Amino acid sequence: MSIRTKILIYFSTTVIALTAGALFFIYTLFAEYREEQFQQRQKEKISSTLQLLSEIKGLDETLFVALDKSTIHDFYNEKLIIFDHEKNLIYKSVDDLSIDKMRAILNKLSTDQHWIETKEELYDVVGLAISNRGKLFYGISKAYDEFGYAKLNYLRSILIITFSTISLIVVLVSFYLSQRISGPLTEIARRINQYDLDKDNVPLQTNESSKEIMVLAHRFNELMQKIKEAFAFQKHAIHHISHELKTPISVLVSNFEKIEQETDPRVLKQMLAHQKEDTKSLSEIIHALLEISKAESGNRLHRAPVRVDELIFDLSAELSQLFPAHHFSVDYAEISEDEHKFTVLANERLLKSALTNLMHNCQQYSTDHQAKINIIPSGDQLKVEFINRGKTIREQERQYLFQHFFRGANSQGKRGFGLGLVFIYKIISLHGGTVTYTTPGTDTNLFTVALPLS
C-alpha cells in the first residue's frame, strides 16, 4: 500500500469515525432528553388529573366524561388509568389504547417504589404512586410523543446530511493532503529513478519547505557523493595501476629473469640487493599512488601542521645512515624564532615521501656526494631549495621532466622507474605548492619547492 493511500485511508477513516461518534452522541443525548421531558409531562398529567378527581369527588359520571374529552388532546394516543390505595380502578381515559404491562407495573408500585418507567414499542409508559390528602393513589400513563419524535426524526435527518457532507469533505481534503504530502516523495523517487551516476554531477535539489523532504534529499546527495568518490577512487586507482605500475613491474620481472640466469654468487648477491631496493621503491610508489588516488577522487587529505625544517633534518639523518658516503648541508636563509614561518598544513606521510625522493635524487645524481638544502621563508610561503653538483637536464628535455617514465640523458646508469619526479610534482600540487627546476651553473641542479604556510 502506497503512503498516499495510507494517508487517505487513515486520515479520512479517523476523522469520519470521530464525526460519526460525535453526531451519534448528540442524537443519543437528545433522545434521552426527549424521553425524560415527555415522561415528566406524563407525571404532571397524572398528578393534575388526580388532583382534579379529588376536588370534584361526588359529581356524576357525565362530568368525568366531559373532563376526559376536554383533555384528550393533551397527548397523542394516550391512555391514563388511576387506582385508589387498594389498587381499585377509579378513573380510565376514554382512549381505546391498551396497556399491556399495566398489571405488572401496578403490582410493583408501592410506597418504596413510587416511580416506574418503561416502553412499549414507541410508547412511553410510566407508573406513579402519589399521595393525595393522606391517601395513596396509583396512576399509569401510556402515550406517544408525536411532537418529540417528529423533532427527533428531524434531528436525525439533519445529522445524516451533516455526516454525509462532512464525510465527503473529509475524503476530498484527505485526497488533496495525501497528494501534497506524498507528491514531493513521489517526485524525489522519480528523479532518483532517473538519476544517472555517470552523467549527473548536480546534487538533487528540492524546493519543498518540509524539513523531512530536505533531509531526505540531503542524505541522498551525501550517499551519491560517497559513491562518486568511491567510483572515482576506483577509476584513478585502476588508471594508476594500469599505467604507472606496468613499467616498474615489467622491470622487476625482467630483473628476476636475469637473476635466474646468473650463476656467479657475487653478482647474484649484488643483483638481489638491487632488486630489494627496487621492490622497496615500488612499495613506496604503490602507497603514494593510493594516497594520490584518494585525493584525486575527492577525498580530503588528512592534514596537520608540519615543521618542514625538522622533517628535513630527520630525513637527512635517516639517509645519512643508509648512505654514509653522502652528506647534506642544511642552511636557513634567516634565523627566526617564529615557528609558523617553517610550518605548513600537510599530510606528513605524503610530504615526507616527496622530500625523501628529492633528497635521494640529490644524492644519487651528485658527483661529489654532497647536497645543499636551503630553507627560505618568503611571505606566505616556505621555499626549500635542493642543490647538487652533477650532470644537468638538457634544455629540450625539461618540458618532459614531470611526465611519467621520463628519464633524461643524465640518468643513464642510474637505477629508477622514471616516476619519482611525477609523484613529487603531484604531492606538492595536492598541497597547493609548486616544484620548479633551474640550472644556476653548468654543473649545478636546483629544485625549488614552494609550499603555502599554515
Residue 148 backbone phi and psi in degrees, to 5 = -65, -45
> Is 377:336 a contact under the CB 8 Å cutoff?
yes
> Coil, strand, or helix at residue 136?
strand
Q: What are phi and psi of 286, to 5 degrees?
A: -60, -45
Q: How far is CA 371 from the centre of its chain?
A: 59
Is the per-residue pLDDT at 185 higher than 90?
no
- Give the 3-state DSSP-derived string for 296-340, with helices as H, strands as E and coil as C: HCCCCCCCEEEEHHHHHHHHHHHHHHHCCCCEEEEEECCCCCCHH
- What would the mean pLDDT of 181-210 be, rounded to a whole number? 68
What 3-state DSSP class applies to 394?
A: coil
* Ranges 210-214, 403-407, 430-434: which has the least confidence: 403-407
Over residues 261-308, the pLDDT tens digits come to: 877 888 888 878 777 776 776 776 676 666 666 665 555 667 899 999
End-to-end CA distance of the chain: 57
Distance of CA 199 to the CA centre of its chain: 25
Nearest to 432 by CA among 336, 301, 329: 301
pLDDT of residue 413: 46
Q: Give CA angle at 91 (86, 95), nearest 5°.
A: 135
Q: What is the mean pLDDT of residues 144-149?
A: 88
Contact 422, 288 (CB under 8 A): no
Segment 151-175 shows an average pLDDT of 92
| Distances 326 to 139, 204, 329, 355, 367 between C-alpha atoms, Å | 134, 58, 10, 16, 10
Count other C-beta atoms under 10 Å from residue 73's C-beta: 8
Q: What is the pLDDT of residues 48-81, one digit of tens each?
A: 888 877 776 554 555 555 555 555 555 667 888 8
Best mean pLDDT range from 79-93, 160-174, 352-366: 160-174
> Confidence class of residue 228 from pLDDT cuts 50, 70 and 90?
confident
Q: Which helix (H) or strand (E) holds 67?
A: helix 61-70
